[in-house]
């Protein structure tokens, strides 16, 4: 089964939408989770136009994190977007723990956690505190979650420009 999780950083760009349409046709994911769409619910209807129903959005009022859950017959999928502000990220891990407390059976969480597990996963000028990575690892451990293999570019943004 293919699940597509993509932080699109704005779906209003025609080039981004064409890339999404290509991915949907090429990979035929069973589930898609798009974060940072920066669009209205009405604009998200474009996703249904390429054959995906059940589109809905959720966001925190301050635009700092959120989740989207889908219960399926054999497992639960939670699309997750961690708070982009480092000082507030612990609230994201608390939310993840609360969700974990209500899940029964197999559970998959995907999306953009806005955090890394290990220093080698990050390439950039800003310092990544070990305490932040440790808090993320602890939250995943407490929730019974582990990483799974993904396909795609390891680093997708550099100096706020797309990777080549």
How far is it, in rounded angstroms, from Cα 58 to Cα 91?
17
In a domain, residue 15? The reply is yes
Taken in order 63, 133, 8, 102, the sign of the CA dihedral is negative
Domain that holds residue 84: 58-153
Highest mean pLDDT among 19-28, 60-69, 70-79, 150-159: 19-28
Residue 30 and residue 82 in one domain: no
Beta bridge partners of 152: none
| pLDDT tens digits along 18-61 | 888 898 889 888 888 888 888 777 767 766 666 776 655 554 44
In a domain, residue 21? The reply is yes
Residue 45 and residue 106 in one domain: no
Q: Are 80 and 109 in contact (CB under 8 A)?
A: yes
- pTM for the full model? 0.78
Residue 19 and residue 73 in one domain: no
Mean pLDDT in residue range 129-141:
95
Domain boundary, last residue among 53, 68, 83: 53
Least confident range from 59-68, 93-102, 130-139: namely 59-68
Residue 26 and residue 90 in one domain: no
How far is it, in rounded angstroms, from Cα 65 to Cα 98?
14
Residue 106 and residue 76 in one domain: yes
| pLDDT tens digits along 73-97 | 688 899 999 999 999 999 999 999 9
- In this prediction, residue 35 carries a pLDDT of 86
Residue 66 and residue 141 in one domain: yes
How far is it, in rounded angstroms, from Cα 61 to Cα 53?
25
How far is it, in rounded angstroms, from Cα 160 to Cα 164?
12
- 43 DSSP 8-state letter: T
User: Residue 46: which of 16, 26, 72 has the closest Cα?
Assistant: 16
Structurally, how many domains does the chain consist of? 2
């Amino acid at each position: 089964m293919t699940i597509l999780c993509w932080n699109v950083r704005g779906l209003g760009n025609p080039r981004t939408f064409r890339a999404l349409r290509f991915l949907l046709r090429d990979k035929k994911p069973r589930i898609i989770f798009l974060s940072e769409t920066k669009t209205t619910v009405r604009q998200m209807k474009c996703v249904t136009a390429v054959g995906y129903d059940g589109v809905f959005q959720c966001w925190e009022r301050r635009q700092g994190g959120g989740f989207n859950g889908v219960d399926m017959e054999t497992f639960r999928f939670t699309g997750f977007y961690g708070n982009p502000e480092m000082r507030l990220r612990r609230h994201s891990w608390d939310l993840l723990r609360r969700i974990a407390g209500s899940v029964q059976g197999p559970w998959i969480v995907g999306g953009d956690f806005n955090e890394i597990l290990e220093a080698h996963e990050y390439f950039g000028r800003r310092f990544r505190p070990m305490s932040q990575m440790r808090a993320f690892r602890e939250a995943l451990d407490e929730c019974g979650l582990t990483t799974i293999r993904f396909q795609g570019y390891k680093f997708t943004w550099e100096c706020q420009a797309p990777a080549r």
